[in-house]
A and B are shown apart, each in its own frame.
Chain A
């Protein structure tokens, strides 16, 4: 498609095309989008329509993290329009340019600056148009609240809508237009109400499962009892007798379709199937030994100095091993999709974090050209990395094709647990050394299957090496008994639990206060600053652990967002841990929506309590034993600590990510506080009451 045609289709006005500054992704995207019926020299755009409304289009998705609101703030600020005049359309492959996906706390960090420049460019175009319209030089004009007006005579003015009327103007950002200095900001940096709140509070917000299509059938699919199981015999007679049911068998897939999903489920339960289940060779207790055994030689992620030299300098050496289990994403909305195929084109509504990746998968599954598939991303009921994968959508697409009718596949909770791509179980081995004045001189760090993100030390260590043996996502055959994937802040929850637990253990053995010990080994001023901000709010009093007070701390540099967290816990006789208070200080650069950023911190802290205290997938081989929230416990109201958040001012730094960073400190901050309370250090997450009680028992 020529850009002109595309603009005509979109409806005229002023367009600014731009590229989100994700260079590697962009290159890949350009190559992929090359074969499509879509202009390829931009991956986002902004439009000012004839009614003066401003719309930004992006292939990212709103999963609940609030980027739709923060992005609108950025555009509104730069364009001088009211926030409610700006909409951000997300995740629709027919309307939005290609995007790799929504993960890694990248939406504001990478899309934000590009959108800001596009808005600045649009503003410049509007002033030029106004200059012709009002017959005044550009220098005598200013923008305010959706109008261009004469500086000397504000009554002489024209609206953005009137300027865009009947126009078809395209611009690209090159060279970079001047942007507003942050000192003039009136919208960015101030709390903004979420744009989706009323829809969500009234039940009007539509999710993938809420799409109703004429003639749509609800499909339930026969599932194996374990990953790797093979269907041996099947008896469909019971299901076939159910009124209104259609049964579709295609290769390994057996599906029951009905006009009501509960009746499809009822018919499915009447199918009798026998399976060959492969013998289990690992379970949730033996998995760690297995992972260490099968791990590849690995890659050095980062190194400095020489480990042998470090060993020689060390006067005390600390060696420990840390373990983190498989953890489920468990969004309240299970994976869901509806697919309609008509006239050789497919339309897909899916709960996805990767609409464009999904478009390709569906095209491939249906044997259609990519541009014949449109993926629409309605509101997504939580993702946390789990909705990067979209098996349910491919299932719905195949069934829609075979049934000749629109089909919805909505996983139930049991399927959601079974097909989840868990945070991988991982092992971290650390050998570290201190010199006579308690300075770190050695850090030999090996991570098995956890992933390398945030494994690089930010402490000042002359001799270190970070070795990653089997990363998440490329574990290789024989490593994990089922699929694993990205889980909110992938790799970092494991790495930070290990690193900060280890730092705490060293401080305790050296007889130093945990904060003092970290500050002694830090040169990074931003890290010192967040630690001090947290300490001040928390009222951190120096002490030697275990002090009995039950306080702990942890810190991280997550992709250039700095977070320091302090917590206070109480441990009951039963071993049950109550996290009473959490203080979190975060430096994320310039903050777009402080209220939204705080909501993300609160959410991360609350969600993070789960992987600290209870969340762990139990399994035998490919059989997942936790299939609902009765045995897989996620945090609830009664777990809620008092949460205090601090946004550490750093206006000179461009906005960084905020959706993930605060969750990564939770494992260590609780483990450290438990050690301070009881003198027992737990090297394995989650810290259940039973494990803590066992650790406290006299030997």
Chain B
């Protein structure tokens, strides 16, 4: 069974004739070639597959296509605008957060969702919001610092 599903991804309209029960992660990675979104656990536990749906962080491995209809999606590929990195991306680079980098997309997009709701989170607030995203390289300390830096930069009105 297939349905025509229309949505917007990274500012671009998309219509796909797909099985509405398929999970968004695989449509992104295979059908749309957006491989920045990663598979980590397949059960919504680790956060590597996180994307934004209408600005809200969701686990794309658990998010069926039928729920995507008429929504605005952002993946890591769509976060930098006009050739400029988002303040979160800049802060992750500046703090040398990345080791293997496999969890990074999910970390940045979860943090984006947090800062959208709470632009000036406390350290405890950051930990609470990020606690279901896993980094096996153990980069949590720098991720927290990078989110704090990004929040400060965004407060100064850098962008978004």
- A261 adjacent to B45 (CB under 8 Å): no
For residue B79, which residues in chain A have a CB less than 8 angstroms away from its CB? 202
Does A285 reach chain B (CB closer than 8 Å)?
no
For residue B77, which residues in chain A have a CB less than 8 angstroms away from its CB? 202-204
Decide yes or no: A331 and B104 within 8 Å by CB, A599-B96, A607-B137 being known contacts: no
Interface string of B17-51 (1 = CB under 8 A from A): 00000110110011101111111111101101000
Interface string of B58-88 (1 = CB under 8 A from A): 0000000000000000011101100001000
- A197 adjacent to B98 (CB under 8 Å): yes
Measured CB to CB, the nearest residue on chain A to B78 is A203
Q: Give the residues from 95 to 144 in chain B that come closer than 8 angstroms, CB to CB, to chain A.
A: 96-105, 108, 126-128, 130-144
- A212 adjacent to B98 (CB under 8 Å): no
Decide yes or no: A599 and B99 within 8 Å by CB, A412-B42, A638-B131 being known contacts: yes
Most buried by B among A193, A203, A595, A636: A203
Minimum C-beta distance from A658 to chain B (A): 12
Q: Per a CB cutoff under 8 Å, which of A209, A382, A596, A630 touches B137? A: A382
Q: Give the residues from 222 to 259 in chain A that come closer than 8 angstroms, CB to CB, to chain B.
A: 259
Does B158 reach chain A (CB closer than 8 Å)?
no
Minimum C-beta distance from A260 to chain B (A): 5
Decide yes or no: A205 and B137 within 8 Å by CB, A381-B38, A599-B96 being known contacts: no
Most buried by A among B34, B48, B141, B142: B141
- B96 adjacent to A595 (CB under 8 Å): yes
Measured CB to CB, the nearest residue on chain A to B77 is A203
Decide yes or no: A203 and B37 within 8 Å by CB, A607-B138, A637-B144 being known contacts: yes
Q: Give the residues from 12 to 61 in chain A that come closer than 8 angstroms, CB to CB, to chain B.
A: none
Q: Give the residues from 152 to 209 in chain A that come closer than 8 angstroms, CB to CB, to chain B.
A: 193-194, 196-207, 209
Does A64 reach chain B (CB closer than 8 Å)?
yes
- B140 adjacent to A640 (CB under 8 Å): yes
Q: Per a CB cutoff under 8 Å, which of A196, A205, A331, A602 touches B142? A: A602
Does A66 reach chain B (CB closer than 8 Å)?
yes
For residue A643, which residues in chain B have a CB less than 8 angstroms away from its CB? 141
Does B14 reach chain A (CB closer than 8 Å)?
no
- B136 adjacent to A202 (CB under 8 Å): no
Between A and B, how many residue pairs show CB distances below 8 Å? 179
Decide yes or no: A638 and B127 within 8 Å by CB, A202-B80, A412-B42 being known contacts: yes
Does A629 reach chain B (CB closer than 8 Å)?
yes
- A381 adjacent to B131 (CB under 8 Å): no
Q: Per a CB cutoff under 8 Å, which of A206, A382, A599 touches B35? A: A206
**In whole angstroms, what is the CA distance A381 to B99 when docked?**
9
- B135 adjacent to A332 (CB under 8 Å): yes
Most buried by B among A65, A66, A259, A637: A637
Q: Per a CB cutoff under 8 Å, which of B26, B31, B99, B128 touches A603? A: B99
- A636 adjacent to B41 (CB under 8 Å): no
**In whole angstroms, what is the CA distance A212 to B42 when docked?**
20
Decide yes or no: A212 and B134 within 8 Å by CB, A201-B108, A260-B26 being known contacts: no
Does A517 reach chain B (CB closer than 8 Å)?
no
Interface string of A255-272 (1 = CB under 8 A from B): 000011111000000000
Does B4 reach chain A (CB closer than 8 Å)?
no
**In whole angstroms, what is the CA distance A262 to B97 when docked?**
31
For residue A640, which residues in chain B have a CB less than 8 angstroms away from its CB? 127, 140-141, 144
- A201 adjacent to B93 (CB under 8 Å): yes
Does A604 reach chain B (CB closer than 8 Å)?
yes
**In whole angstroms, what is the CA distance A332 to B102 when docked?**
6
The contact size tier of chain B is 35 or more
Measured CB to CB, the nearest residue on chain B to A203 is B36
**In whole angstroms, what is the CA distance A602 to B137 when docked?**
9
**In whole angstroms, what is the CA distance A596 to B135 when docked?**
17
Measured CB to CB, the nearest residue on chain A to B143 is A637
Decide yes or no: A379 and B101 within 8 Å by CB, A331-B136, A629-B134, A640-B141 being known contacts: yes
For residue B38, which residues in chain A have a CB less than 8 angstroms away from its CB? 207, 209, 332-333, 381
**In whole angstroms, what is the CA distance A567 to B72 when docked?**
46
**In whole angstroms, what is the CA distance A103 to B153 when docked?**
39
Minimum C-beta distance from A119 to chain B (A): 24
For residue B35, which residues in chain A have a CB less than 8 angstroms away from its CB? 203, 206, 209-210, 212
Measured CB to CB, the nearest residue on chain B to A207 is B102
- A201 adjacent to B102 (CB under 8 Å): no
Does A684 reach chain B (CB closer than 8 Å)?
no
For residue B100, which residues in chain A have a CB less than 8 angstroms away from its CB? 63-64, 331-333, 379-383
Most buried by A among B38, B98, B137, B138: B138
Measured CB to CB, the nearest residue on chain B to A63 is B100
For residue B80, which residues in chain A have a CB less than 8 angstroms away from its CB? 202
Q: Per a CB cutoff under 8 Å, which of A64, A193, A210, A332 touches B40? A: A332
For residue A207, which residues in chain B have a CB less than 8 angstroms away from its CB? 38, 102
Minimum C-beta distance from B12 to chain A (A): 15
For residue A212, which residues in chain B have a CB less than 8 angstroms away from its CB? 33, 35
Q: Per a CB cutoff under 8 Å, which of B42, B99, B134 touches A634? A: B134
- B102 adjacent to A602 (CB under 8 Å): no
Decide yes or no: A197 and B96 within 8 Å by CB, A260-B26, A602-B139 being known contacts: yes
- B134 adjacent to A201 (CB under 8 Å): no
- B102 adjacent to A382 (CB under 8 Å): yes
**In whole angstroms, what is the CA distance A383 to B46 when docked?**
17
**In whole angstroms, what is the CA distance A606 to B139 when docked?**
8
Measured CB to CB, the nearest residue on chain A to B45 is A629
- B98 adjacent to A200 (CB under 8 Å): yes
**In whole angstroms, what is the CA distance A200 to B96 when docked?**
11
- B31 adjacent to A196 (CB under 8 Å): no
- A606 adjacent to B96 (CB under 8 Å): no
- B92 adjacent to A381 (CB under 8 Å): no
Q: Per a CB cutoff under 8 Å, which of A201, A332, A608 touches B46? A: A332
Minimum C-beta distance from A268 to chain B (A): 13
- B89 adjacent to A202 (CB under 8 Å): yes
**In whole angstroms, what is the CA distance A59 to B83 when docked?**
33
Minimum C-beta distance from B151 to chain A (A): 16
- A607 adjacent to B89 (CB under 8 Å): no
Q: Per a CB cutoff under 8 Å, which of B31, B96, B140 touches A193? A: B96
**In whole angstroms, what is the CA distance A534 to B30 when docked?**
50
Does A384 reach chain B (CB closer than 8 Å)?
yes
**In whole angstroms, what is the CA distance A297 to B142 when docked?**
47
- B102 adjacent to A203 (CB under 8 Å): no
Measured CB to CB, the nearest residue on chain A to B124 is A638
3 A-B pairs closest in CB distance: A203-B36, A606-B138, A64-B100
* 6 additional contacts (CB under 8 A) given A202-B89, A413-B40, A640-B144: A205-B101, A209-B35, A218-B30, A332-B46, A602-B139, A634-B136
User: A-contacting residues of B (Cβ < 8 Å)?
Assistant: 22-23, 25-26, 29-31, 33-43, 45-46, 48, 75-77, 79-80, 85, 89, 92-94, 96-105, 108, 126-128, 130-144
List 14 A-B residue pairs with CB atoms under 8 Å apart, sorted by A's residue number.
A63-B100, A66-B99, A193-B96, A199-B101, A200-B98, A203-B37, A262-B25, A332-B38, A334-B39, A599-B99, A599-B139, A629-B46, A637-B130, A637-B143
